Amino acid sequence: MKHIYTAVATLLLLSAAAGKTQAQGCVAIRSNGNSCTMGNPAAVKGWQMNLNNRYFKSYKHFVGTEEQKERVENGTEVINHNYSLDITATRYFNSRWSLGITIPVISNTRSSLYEHAGNSAGPSGRHSTQSFGIGDARVSLYRWMIDPAKHTKGNIQLGLGIKLPTGDYQYQDYFYKADGSTVLGPVDQSIQLGDGGTGITLEMNALYQFTHKFGVYGNFYYLSNPREQNGVSTARGGTPNATALKYFTSTMSVPDQYMLRGGASYMTGKFHFTGGIRIEAIPSSDLIGGDKGFRRPGIVTSAEPVIAYQAKKMNLYLSVPVAVKRNRTQSYSDKLRTADTGTKVQGDAAFADYSITAGISFRF
């Protein structure tokens, strides 16, 4: 039974790597080294390397759960192309303890009208800003809570880590104005390489095997960012207006983020299949620290299929999570403006229809 448990644990590692966390578009969940680094109980000592690639294109705008279809029809939508490569090295100390170190490499492009010449400028007014570099790194310690040698059907793994502000959270590019001039300023929060905060990460990974082929899995990840704001202007090289100053959106926030996954797994030969639900989100309020600063809170619920191929010391996997529900929730500043005006205020955010994740892991 141990080899079955090992296969399921490896599959859970791969599917979690495919699922964590860079959510979609203007909901600014960026790559923070969130590839799950579950220890494999059979790997008593040694190293494992994981290369996890993720790409998505966001362009559909939502206010709450209602899609603003006129944005695409009118050509005023914001289009984000987000790519990340998470490089994770995991050191196994024994069958229960492991340490994971992740460094993300990120490349983002954002195309819009309103940030440049304005939405009324037409197609000629659309321009792009970019960002490229290292993201926020993460170091996490993991432990299987049940002795794998004695319990082969199921287990729970807990992880505690620190997210470091290694990514440039003040990345700048040029914005093109209607008069033909350009202004250098910080790019939008959704394509910044980091958030400027030192965070605490908490993880829980669980699995249970009913038969030698069929089982269930679950993952939970939470990043707590105590820092409230990082001081980076949201005015794109300009001067913040009075509304932004009054409602604390003149600078970027350092938001929390979380992810929940759950589903079933099936093995046949060297192929492993999982299917489940993934929920990832930026909350409007943080667990620790204040809520001021600009953020686009939201929740994405996706149907998540994963296929993996397991060789002796190498594993390949592919996942294409498809969004089934997108919800741009009220931010802290939205709630303040609602209270002041007596009319509900709720901003929008752009989301992707799906994302593509592919990767490889190998032991040495």
* Tens-place pLDDT, residues 338-364: 999 999 999 999 999 999 999 999 998
**242: phi then psi, degrees, rounded to nearest 5:** -65, -35
> What's the CA angle centered on 32, arms 42 and 162, to 5 degrees?
70
pLDDT above 50: residue 327? yes
**77: phi then psi, degrees, rounded to nearest 5:** -70, 155
- Which residues, in sequence order, are CB contacts of 120 under 8 Å at separation 6+? none
Cα 55 to its chain centre, rounded Å, is 11
The string of pLDDT tens digits covering residues 106-122 is 999 999 999 999 999 99
Task: Compute the mean pLDDT over every residue in the chain, rounded to the nearest whole number.
Answer: 90
- State how many domains the chain has: 1
- The enclosing domain of 296 has a CATH number of 2.40.160.40
Q: Are 46 and 363 in contact (CB under 8 A)?
A: yes
The secondary structure of the chain in percent helix, strand, coil, rounded to multiples of 5, reads: 15, 50, 35
pTM of this prediction? 0.90
pLDDT above 60: residue 14? no
- Which residues, in sequence order, are CB contacts of 49 under 8 Å at separation 6+? 87, 88, 89, 90, 361, 362, 363, 364
Q: Are 283 and 29 in contact (CB under 8 A)?
A: no
Tokens 């794998």 belong to 148
Q: What is the mean pLDDT of residues 166-186?
A: 96
Q: How many CA atoms lie within 13 A of 327 on its CB side?
A: 14
Question: What is the domain range of residue 226?
Answer: 2-363
> For residue 313, what pLDDT band results from cuts at 50, 70 and 90?
confident
Q: What pLDDT does residue 24 have? A: 39
